[in-house]
Amino acid sequence: MAGGPELFLVDPNLTAYHMTQNLTDLTWSTRAIAAPRRARRRDQHRRHLDDLTVVDANQLPVADALIAVTSDQPAVLVVNGVSYPVGPGMPAAQIQADGIGQACVLIGPPRCRCRLCSSR
């Protein structure tokens, strides 16, 4: 970080980026540093999008609820631009619902079975 702040990001297509900020003019520059290899099977990198709403016993949304996510096979969740690896033997990914109890989660691969639990 000698040149200034830096960030590492992964987009929904699983391309990794490195962002750096110039300390002189405070502009950010972005470069792709890794991308998945082209899959032989088309569905290897397919994902599905789920909109979740955490509700209480009265079916009312629970604001800012924590959601623990596990999966029966290796998978990647993307929530608000942040990726979370999940799979057998891995700790549950902890994601947080918004102020109205909702979260939008991109899950891949599409055939994985995820288990979602809320502690609130």
23 closest CA partner among 40, 4, 49, 8: 4
How many distinct structural domains can be found in the chain?
2
Asked whether residue 30 falls in the same domain as residue 51, the answer is no
Asked whether residue 100 falls in the same domain as residue 49, the answer is yes
pLDDT of 45: 52
The CA distance from 87 to 72, in Å, is 6
pLDDT of 114: 64
Asked whether residue 16 falls in the same domain as residue 49, the answer is no
- Total residues found in the chain within this entry: 120
The residues with which 82 forms a beta bridge, in sequence order, are: 79
Residue 24 structural domain: 1-36
Asked whether residue 68 falls in the same domain as residue 91, the answer is yes
Q: What is the pLDDT along the chain (120 residues), one digit of tens a residue?
A: 457 889 888 887 788 888 898 888 888 888 888 877 765 555 445 666 677 788 888 888 888 888 888 888 888 888 877 888 888 888 888 888 888 888 877 776 656 666 666 665
- pTM over 0.85, yes/no: no
Asked whether residue 23 falls in the same domain as residue 59, the answer is no
